[in-house]
Amino acid sequence: MQRRPTTYSPPPTALPPQRKPPVVEAAIVTAVLVGGVWLQELIDLFGFGGQLDYYGIQPRDPQTFWHIFTAPFLHAGLPHLIANTLPLAVLAFMSALRSIGRFLGATFVIMLVGGTLVWLFGRSSTHLGASELIFGYLAYLLGVGWWERTPSAIAIALVALFLYGGIIWGVLPSNPMVSWEAHLFGFIGGLVAALLLHGRRRVRGG
């Protein structure tokens, strides 16, 4: 008796889940960031009477050093938050376009470096507000353009500079009610983040 050859078909493999386009991912992360800041402020105002502002940076107080990670999400009332909302949303979105992972890393570095410098050298007051992140993201985008020097990085840096380059003057002391220290040190933190995440060593040929 002859046996007919049988053929074997492997089971269909599941297609890997498709990633969302970078624009969509950046928009989602930006919406979560801005929405979270707004939600926190509304809870603070209507649930705690503004008492959460205590978690701003209080320079050189060892017990509150960890406030460097809470201060950028706090605001001194709705006018302060409204003024920061649009630049925060635009610059966060532009920063997240390239990579969500690097955006999160840059945010952490900006808060760590900028917040620590404010804690060390800031005036004896309570420093809070998303302007540290705003100046940090602007510097991050400019730094990425400088260190990567790819067409896309340079283009994004130029757009950011065109839109918000004028705020760089905010790193200088002016209004005593404004934390220029958070502006300056947030900007420095953004440059450090760009260097750490995008800086490349150039190897010279022999």
Contact partners, residue 23, CB within 8 Å, separation at least 6: 97
pLDDT for 98 equals 87
Q: Which domain holds residue 45?
A: 22-198
pLDDT for 201 equals 52
Q: Quick check: is 35 in a domain?
A: yes
pLDDT for 9 equals 59
Q: How far are the Cα atoms of 30, 91, 104, 206 from residue 159, in angstroms, in the given order?
A: 18, 10, 21, 38
Residue pair 202/154 in contact (Cβ under 8 Å)? The answer is no
What's the rounded mean pLDDT across residues 146-170?
A: 95
In this structure, what token pair is assigned to residue 195? 């260097």
Say which range, 5-19, 100-114, 123-137, 178-192, has the weakest mean pLDDT.
5-19
Q: Quick check: is 17 in a domain?
A: no
pLDDT range class, residue 21, cuts 50, 70, 90: confident
In whole angstroms, give the CA distance from residue 190 to residue 181.
14
Q: Quick check: is 9 in a domain?
A: no
In whole angstroms, give the CA distance from residue 112 to residue 189.
8
- What pTM, to 2 d.p., does this model score? 0.88
Query: What CATH number does the domain containing 136 carry?
Result: 1.20.1540.10
Q: How far are the Cα atoms of 7, 97, 151 from residue 22, in angstroms, in the given order?
A: 43, 6, 17
Mean of per-residue pLDDT scores for the chain: 91
Domain tally, the chain: 1
In whole angstroms, give the CA distance from residue 142 to residue 149.
10
| pLDDT, tens digit, 9 for 90 and up, residues 86-104 | 999 999 999 999 899 999 9
pLDDT for 203 equals 46
pLDDT for 174 equals 86
| pLDDT, tens digit, 9 for 90 and up, residues 121-155 | 999 999 999 999 999 999 999 999 999 999 999 99
What residue has token string 């983040």? 193
